[in-house]
Chains A and B, each alone.
Chain A
């Protein structure tokens, strides 16, 4: 963006300003619109939502305390479905996170100006989703107090981790992903925190925002390095986000199990991750923009573009579902074939068809512009996609395991009440963090949106 070679005419073509920021759209209005949310008492709905989220979070806390004090036997995981609920939830939440990085990093590299309205939002979603995701493998290990064994730190057994295990790759991929996402998000926040600091009326607000704004003054020499660092982080986060879900898919793909052992998994998982993440952004953005008066910054155009991405990635996962069946037939492997017939027509057929109808069929409505721009339709579809993508991970994990090579050990997996409490509780954690973010931090990247307005571009100087 700091590239001076691009002429202003070209810039105007690229950023398409009028549709992205509606209303008056001058710099002060943008500052006011976004900062106002963090500076005033939130609407009643926020309090209701926060109380609810906090209560569900408490339930998660109780479920985890019970789990750790008793043991993982309180979950429904058992042979042959040893990988049950926790891995499903882990993959579900990691996948949600991916849209945030995609919006903030990949669209940045592609110079997609429209990302500025939603990137802060979705980056926050990424971080909270990765926190929820990281929770599941952590509590799944059983003895959580020795979780540090997954890291290469010296321990009393003088042993090192097994670096050839995809589960260990996961540790590195997910922790790197969380770290880089946090840095990226925080770096983007600094200039906006400086804005909140400079607008603050009370000493405590000035101090808190001031400390986290790191003394930012908006000096151009600082902007110069800041922009370069932002570009570098975006360039680093792009391959990272692709690697994270690829590595997550390796957990499955590197094992010799029909239904898991396929090379299509990495791209299939990445497409699914983007799909579910965009759906979650829509799920969150629709109520947030109404509640906090951000309709001028998160416009219908933003939502429509996201719906296009949802439809495209939905068809990608649909293609992957079809290709899996094709490969099962084309390979001539009867075990592979059985797994897929069992997947669609076996005891979990209900889950399979929920997945197909939510993920493949429901986004097809976005072929119609009217549907793409209809708030109720997109909200419902986004919820469907969230459900469908959760079931996708359920189907992959459970249907591949529940009928393994030994028919005598076939079993039907059923979650326990603790499984349910943990899954629902993780939504409590997610929404608690998200609502706190909505309340105290700028939900829209103020400085970046300003960069997309006509006011930000000089005319006489070029």
Chain B
């Protein structure tokens, strides 16, 4: 590679002065990005990947500053540019595609004038026909129909908005495109489509691409080179092939192994099967009788009936995209959200019609782990409040010392050091620690049923496997039945005894995971599985084909009949 690189970072250091002292966000990072190459920056939150990108754009948030090193953008030292020169450099030479496309577009402007803004700012006033020609060309290149130009952002779907952002980014043919987790808010099907668009357009204009992300699978399917960052340091850099096949740094190995594969090795330990606790009632643990949920005219959940016996602990997975009705099911089971029709029975008792005592008993026996570990703790209290309070409330505490030992045991069980975490405030803990504490909280109460609603989707990738195995162990060690709600088919494949695939409020395929996810038959399940990026270089996932059209595939899926696969004892789903 003799050509001059598009971007050269040399000994780049970035620091943030804070009350606790200066934080080194990026430490002596050196890296080249060549023309036409796609370089992935991978690392956990706080590893400095976004900070590096913002430094290239000279958009570091106050009080951060570049402490040392140089940023060379195709021969220009970015750090020497003044504010006005930098403004002209942005977009024309470096384009930035932000994380939340839904918030990046002006909601009161149509798409077209927003695209023109960039051109006018850099090239002065052009005539309307020329502007129109260029914005149409940009939209076409990201595979959006012409009429998109006249729409307002709220009329577009998340994936379309992200593609509009890409179109705006490339409209001036920049030398470098920086894409900061461009698909993190999108579901897998849309993610695949957006990444394909991005790859296609990048190779078309031949610019360098800096893709920031935390998903090893997505990286493997998208980029040519990978830079692994940890705590602001570049720990490993090489081609994807090198890194995936022979990772040198232990952190890289962790990242690769933390991606669960369908059919791959399980990350769970299969031993220690406990018996379910003796159940006093012969009634099934949980029963849905023709449960239906409407939000106004929209039916979020079509009538569904199933029975979870609960004599042997089982994990039932409910998978689907956002909007499939899976979280609605979760809140109906918890009694937060009454069903529009039908009944939910817990041990033979209608959840909606319970006396105060029965309700307290139901609360003790049905616990939950929610998606957002940041919101689950009251910021006013130390975290032990969240563990102590329910323990006392349900009359499980014999004395304060007993509560303390129970908390410490629960922390140990999820792999946390009780002395370190229990007396902290929530903001002092990481997302992973908080989510484990929520699992520990559930464990202390020893419920009969645990509803885990996307428990790991907001946690760093390297921690996902360990938190899931914490939850999995609950089932075996403590005999808790678990309903696992997720969009992640690979984890569902490993942890569950039975899988239901939801699509627009209907169950489209259900059965044991080895059959449903291992060998899908329903077109929708196939579509979902095809869309998951795996760290497997030989898969044709994001090869830039434009003929892969999820809209058409979804329409086909909607016509297909539901498929019921094998039966698992203890769980009975009634065929609709």
* Chains A and B form a bound pair: no
B residues whose Cβ falls under 8 Å from a Cβ of A: none
Residue ranges of A at the interface with B (Cβ–Cβ < 8 Å):
none
